[in-house]
Amino acid sequence: MTIRVFHSPASPYVRKVMVAAAERGLADQIEKLPSAAGPVKRDPGIVQHNSSGKVPCALLADDTPLFDSRVITQYVDSLGVAGDPLYPQDARRFAVLTAEALAESILDAALLHRYENALRPEEKRWEDWSRGQMDKIDSGLDDLEGRWFATITDGFNAASIAAACALGYLDFRFASKDWRSNRPRLAEWFATVSARPSMKDSFPAG
């Protein structure tokens, strides 16, 4: 069964889905659909299936849409034919879901920061807004280094994927940000998981 996914090679949310599919042995069942999603001008091809116009948006065989990345990742996991489940069905499940949500909150703040500074006209930029988003990123990273480290390092689960994609996005779009110095455990873990084929094959571009 083919799962069609509106795809953007630079989107960390799309990357989450692609990594999950690879980890669960479904990479060859993902059909990448082109997209032109943006925070201001939306892609009408996506909007007809997902009114937010955001990626990723997956389409099943009958055009039933699935969104956002957490929903699609759980769907992919339910079809998995290889590897361990990304969402444990035991007492660890809600810890994984919560750590995944934390990693996505880091991504959300990073996207908002980037939009403010890359897309908004310079004379309209709000420095306090950008600083507030970076504060969210930093506190989230501190929590990944501390409270949630055991969860993201328990195998390579959905929270692990989300955290790895968040860190990869920071390196991609915020290359000058030194998030590693004060978070040695997170830095060492990220270096290790970045060597996984699923991470290397989905490296962002654009």
CB 152 within 8 Å of CB 161:
no
Q: pLDDT at position 154, please? A: 97
Q: pLDDT at position 39, please? A: 84
Quote the CATH superfamily of domain 3-78.
Glutaredoxin (3.40.30.10)
User: Alpha-carbon distance 180 to 182, whole Å?
Assistant: 6
CB 77 within 8 Å of CB 85:
yes
CB 15 within 8 Å of CB 56:
no
Partnered with residue 66 across adjacent β-strands are: 58
pTM over 0.75: yes
Q: Where are the domains of the chain?
A: 3-78, 93-200
Fold of 93-200: Glutathione S-transferase Yfyf (Class Pi); Chain A, domain 2 (1.20.1050)
List of residues 6+ apart from 104 with CB closer than 8 A:
13, 69, 70, 162, 166
Per-residue pLDDT reduced to its tens digit, 59-84? 999 999 999 999 999 999 999 999 99
Give, to the nearest 10 degrees, the angle between helix 93-118 and helix 12-23.
Answer: 150
Q: How far apart are the first and last CA of the chain?
A: 29
User: Alpha-carbon distance 85 to 177, whole Å?
Assistant: 33
Low-confidence ranges of the chain (pLDDT < 70): 206
